[in-house]
A and B are shown apart, each in its own frame.
Chain A
């Protein structure tokens, strides 16, 4: 059984602005409820495809993205809804994409595993494990060459760190001192495989040593800790000192994908980790530090619920993708023979 730390340290909100903390709370809740709504939709009506939930991992996405500027870049994975929501991708468009509607983030062409929003620096969810890592390095290369001051974040999991793509990208980025942050979202499982069963060295942050970059391990269920670590890494990247590997220790509460029974792990393991829920921990800290009231938090929760209702209504009312829609999307310069 994989256990969380025996004593869960309280969230340290010292020095962080109330507005920032409330925004983080809102974003994490929005990500959670987006997936909960989808989970319900999949149970109650025909929905295309499948989805991979990041329940319990929201603090990684929100903590890291809160340390970025709006123009900065991220690449995401098959488990990418929370990254998108953290980066400000409108939930209406995300929901419409799930429904394969023309109004979706990708005009219904990508679905859950390929969400993107270039206007918000969300360069795509790349659903081949590890594939987004070198792509983030390329975005960082463009930022470096263009002297734009932007940084790029590659989100990936504990499974992806065993891919060659990670090794090549980490070496190249460090060699060239590119403004990129490698965020390893260690949710303990690559489908059924625990880190212990798939990585020869289980301290994943320690791999940074091989590339000559800092490797930082952080409680990935503490959004403020993730945020502070990410701020340092972003500062380092932006000031030309190169990449950081940030390992955020978290836990995948749901199965790998929808309707996956998680028979490979004891139920009590999941229950234990639920006590470290990042949203509840932040909520508790906000109340205990008297930064907000139950009434204010309830109004945020109502707002999230309302946004979800609107997103579903928007998706339902949008037009389905039609057969000819794909024509402009294969290549930019259309040629009879390319179709």
Chain B
């Protein structure tokens, strides 16, 4: 299969959906002439024109609010928010309006709105351009939270988001944009929500990865294999809906679980997954549920400090080894 980057996969998903459905359009800050600050929408303006690739003012409330209004009136907007941190500028629209429009209207409002946003620390971007906002919104019923970790999933999950009838927050990790991998060219290739992906099978410990931590979990699994520990790596793909069955089945097999994400540890996505496993799978567990996550401090500017705060491959390795203290 041909290989393309995570960034190109996202672009391809948008272009394919815009070609097949005239109601799909992209709007956001610098998505047109500039091609997106991460280059994801490069040259889309040339193909689709200003009406469908809309450069907006720096107005996150209006981007999301207008996205909602257009979505309810038969369009399928892709609203891009440049950094996950900026979602808070549109907090009311996302939390009180987008998430609840369908509910409050007794199902009369349909909101096929995809909010594309970057997440994660790209390196010394400091405290306002590095956050992982997924769990901020997991507590809000009505939103779907999608965290692609591979180029193929980025394409397939985004197409599911655009074709779906519900609002989606689609979190693109900045440090994954350059990742290259096999991506199907079939324009009807989609990846359904709520189906976690067992990327690597193993019998000793389950590592549940979110976004970029899937990649780090795979690297950790390589290290652990050399030490005789067979890790099973699961990419959650979507936090809402969460594929509980796959996670529970894996834990039933391995009896040990680590949850790895780049969001802060306190009340991060791992807290929800851990609570779910504690409620529904505690009988399978031979040890504590361990979370490997960013420390509970704002993301720092200093490379030394950032490195210290963010979770890394070694943290996962050490967490896994802690289950068997006797082992070397």
Q: Give chain A's interface residues, CB within 8 Å of chain B.
A: 73, 75, 104-110, 114, 116-118, 123-124, 126, 128, 131, 133-143, 145-146, 152, 164-165, 168-169, 171-172, 175, 326, 328-333, 335-338
Contact = CB atoms under 8 A, between A and B. Distances in A.
Interface in B68-121: 68-75, 77, 92-93, 96-97, 101-110
B69 A135 contact: yes
Contacts of A141: 66, 69-70, 75
A138 B61 contact: no
B165 A142 contact: no
B51 A165 contact: no
Contacts of B77: 138
B196 to A, nearest CB: 11
A88 B69 CA distance: 20
A135 B25 contact: no
A138 B68 CA distance: 7
A247 B195 CA distance: 52
A134 B73 contact: no
A175 B57 CA distance: 9
Chain A at the B interface: SS class: helix
A16 B282 CA distance: 74
Contacts of B141: 330, 338
B32 to A, nearest CB: 13
A116 B75 contact: no
A137 B69 contact: yes
B258 to A, nearest CB: 21
A138 B103 contact: no
Contacts of A140: 69
A105 B68 CA distance: 20
Given A134-B62, A165-B65, A337 B105 contact: no
B142 interface: yes
Contacts, number: 166
A328 to B, nearest CB: 6
A109 B68 contact: no
Interface string B126-145: 00000000000000011010
Contact of A164 (B61, B101, B166, B193): B61
Contact of A168 (B51, B59, B72, B110): B59
B194 interface: yes
B43 interface: no
Given A137-B62, A332-B107, 4 more contacts: A135-B97, A138-B67, A329-B102, A337-B242
11 contacts: A124-B105, A134-B61, A134-B62, A138-B66, A138-B67, A141-B75, A145-B25, A165-B92, A331-B142, A332-B164, A337-B241
Interface-central residue, A110, A117, A143, A168, by most chain B CB under 10 Å: A168
Q: List the 7 closest pairs (A to B, CB-CB), nearest first.
A: A138-B69, A134-B65, A107-B106, A138-B66, A332-B165, A168-B62, A168-B59
Contacts of B105: 106, 109-110, 114, 116, 118, 124
A124 B241 contact: no
Contact of A110 (B62, B106, B244): B106
A238 B243 CA distance: 48
B307 interface: no
Interface string B35-71: 0000000000000000100001101111011111111
